[in-house]
A and B are shown apart, each in its own frame.
Chain A
Amino acid sequence: MSKSPEAVATKRASSRYASVRLAHGSGGKLSLELIQDLFVREFGGQELAELTDAAVLENPGGRVAFCTDSHTVTPTFFPGGDIGRLAVAGTVNDLAVMGARPLYLTAAFLIEEGYDMEELERVVVSMKRTADEAGVTIVAGDTKVLERGKGDGLFINTAGVGFLPDRVKMGVKEIQPGDKILVNGTLGDHGIAVMSRREGLDMGVDLESDVAPLNGLIEQVMAVAPNVRFMRDVTRGGLAAVGNEVVLNQTWGLRVFDVAVPIHDIVDQYSEMLGIDPLLAANEGKVLMIVPAEQAEAALGAMKAHPLGREAAIIGDIVKQPAGVALVETAYGSRRVLEMPIEEQLPRIC
């Protein structure tokens, strides 16, 4: 069990400073202090503690899955999460949706001079806690401090390595008409939770981001539905972005039944009020799975049995026609295109 974010900040050499200084990224004494007293101490792990130029890792076998993602979010701490949890969960999920077992992460921090030291510590503790939850180890890292005004607070890049069993065979080309589409819960929570806390839009919305590592849930589903055709984490651009990426140039189409899509009541109301579409809103703890029809119920059951999948649902299917189109079918049987998101969603006039 990791320490609570409130309980950190005790007796650290780095904590002699209220905020991050340029010297914390200079490679000198302060850099070493920060690395050892914050990053090594919190993240733990033999590979990191050795402070070698590269981590040397065990290979459990299979193909290697390797990915990287950079993270920036305003505000840094939002209901249900923070940039640290986001940075770890995001990379873990990118590996997991490939069918890989995530094992190792790197973390690179770009910190603006003057960034609050205690806040940085809280972010690091949150990363460690999320890494533990996902069963991954942070094995290497980097810190750079940017002059004040040359960075927006804190950026975190994480890269991840996972291992992919030879039997896993997934991809868009495996998808066939008749397949079912599943998601593991309510859509749009993260996007609306973050938007509701941005300057000028605070409406006291009581909603938490869904940010979470999904590798546990995915493993559970794949155990009972080994022929999952395709998975993708539903992040920025929401279901609409994933749906459109999947159907691009395909000889089949994707159909979503709007009444089947789980949407939190608050998300629904907030979206209606601001004129935004929850199907386009961001998520950080949701996966879309395309599963052969005969394994759909088993996959759904496995999702629902996991804490991160209680509100899972079958939301649509793959159709022969119209090809290359992602569409939404309403409760009335009418149909519209599920459009590719274009810009960041902004509140409308009326």
Chain B
Amino acid sequence: MDTAATTTFDFEPHLYKDAEVVKGLEEKLLRLADEIGRPVKLMHICGTHEHEIGRFALRDLIPDSVEVLAGPGCPVCVCDNEYINMAIQLSLLDDVIVTSFGDMLAVPGSIPLEGERRGDVRMSLLDARARGGDVRAVYSVFDAARIARENPDKEVVFFSVGFETTVVAVAAMLKRGAPDNLSIIEANYYTPPATHMLPTLDGFDIEGFILPGHAATITGLRVYEHLAEQGIACASGGFEPVDVLASVVSLLEQIRDGKPIIDNPYNRLVKYDGNEKAKAELFEVFELGPIHWRGIAEIPESGYKLRPEYKKHSAALKFAGRLDERILAGAEHPKGCRCAEVTLGQIRPDECGVFGKLCTPDAPYGPCMVSHEGTCRAWYQYGMHKERLHVEVA
């Protein structure tokens, strides 16, 4: 099916934040909302979109009748407790250094944290570090490889979490030869199967998706054709204010015209078939398999798992005898945490009973409140749960 379309913007890079261009898009959105004349729900599926929407307060610029919800787009939020528990256990072994992106460090798994006076508190990698675990924040897997080379007498574990934007680097590194003492926790997720699942959920009423701009530079947009086929509007989305609003404009135009396609307003980076070279390398090292999405379900073909020839770098295999299986499996979440519903866009963060009260970034119940990619965190941080901030001057 020919759903590819291109909306070309002739902007200079600095114009992606330009106030005049934003103003024009804001007016266009008002007109489109008027023409549609009924409430519309849209969804993005990238944590960075929620963060940028918060940072630039973009919901202030979108008409009230158009609701932009955050879907399952935060790699930290969908990461199952099994992997967090594994990383924590490994970090507490004397001969292991656990490396991770900064986002993951404060996310609680399900291991109870003894001796705390804050209630039902679960252990994070930061807690493990405070208890003697060797946990280090890294910017990329290449830093983990360097640490492994510098510490030949230690085992170095890289907590490989994220979507395509990070797993491709892991594949590239492993393919070019990684130190034997480096292994990875395989917690990389592939989004399209989750978006397949969304329309099957009860009460699903999303009419358009802003597709994840960064992940789509790798995967391309073809993998989302199933959405357009089901009558759902689609548009790739970049991350500057102009990008986000242009995607919303595209979706509203499709909805107004009743012609859902896969538009590509972020075509300065996203190609319809993605990055063939990166995909080839990715699938040389990884294959798709079932993986648990935290609090949601096990979704087939949605997790990146090492191929047999790279299994020697699998932390799960390498440390199989030294991990407590019962702890890995203990995946229950703290009482009252509705992260899963937030992640699916079924409720807004402020509809969760513990949001901002018992669950805050400094004492998080779940990952959505920890990661900067997390919907709850973004809402809390940028005050999106408050009424619009009306200013009265002196």
Contacts and interface: CB of A to CB of B under 8 A. Distances in A.
B58 A350 contact: no
Interface stretch (B16-24, B177-185, B263-271, B300-308): B16-24
A124 to B, nearest CB: 32
Nearest to B101: A349
Contacts of A343: 106, 361-362
Nearest to B138: A200
Chain A residues touching B, range? 35 or more
A38 interface: no
Given A200-B138, A349-B161, A322 B390 contact: yes
B162 interface: yes
A325 interface: yes
B80 interface: no
A3 interface: no
Nearest to A344: B102
Interface string A331-350: 11111110100110011111
B137 A346 contact: yes
B389 interface: yes
Nearest to B392: A321
Contact of A317 (B22, B106, B393): B393
A317 B394 CA distance: 10
Contacts of B383: 325, 327, 336-337, 339
Nearest to B214: A350
Interface in B220-255: 241
A333 B56 CA distance: 10
A320 B106 contact: no
A200 B106 CA distance: 19
A182 B61 CA distance: 28
A178 interface: yes
Contacts of A334: 56-61
Contacts of A329: 391
Contacts of B361: 342-343
Contacts of A322: 389-391
B137 A336 contact: no
B3 interface: no
B52 to A, nearest CB: 10
B394 A350 contact: no
A350 B102 contact: no
A127 B391 CA distance: 45
Interface string B132-146: 000011110001001
Contact of B394 (A319, A342, A349): A319
Nearest to A325: B389
A331 B17 contact: yes
A178 B51 CA distance: 31
Interface in A175-189: 176-178
A329 B105 CA distance: 31
B292 interface: no
A74 to B, nearest CB: 13
A172 interface: no
Given A176-B394, A322-B389, A350 B48 contact: yes
Given A330-B57, A336-B389, A348 B101 contact: yes
A126 B191 CA distance: 53
A346 B163 CA distance: 19
Contact of A346 (B26, B103, B143, B389): B103
A223 interface: no
B326 interface: no
A331 B60 CA distance: 12
B382 interface: yes
Given A275-B372, A348-B103, A350-B166, A335 B143 contact: no
Given A332-B22, A339-B383, A343-B106, A350 B389 contact: no
6 contacts: A200-B147, A320-B393, A330-B57, A334-B61, A335-B388, A342-B362
Interface of A: 176-178, 200-201, 253, 255, 274-275, 277, 317-322, 325, 327-337, 339, 342-343, 346-350
Given A321-B392, A337-B381, A348-B371, 7 more contacts: A200-B146, A200-B147, A327-B383, A335-B60, A336-B56, A347-B137, A349-B162
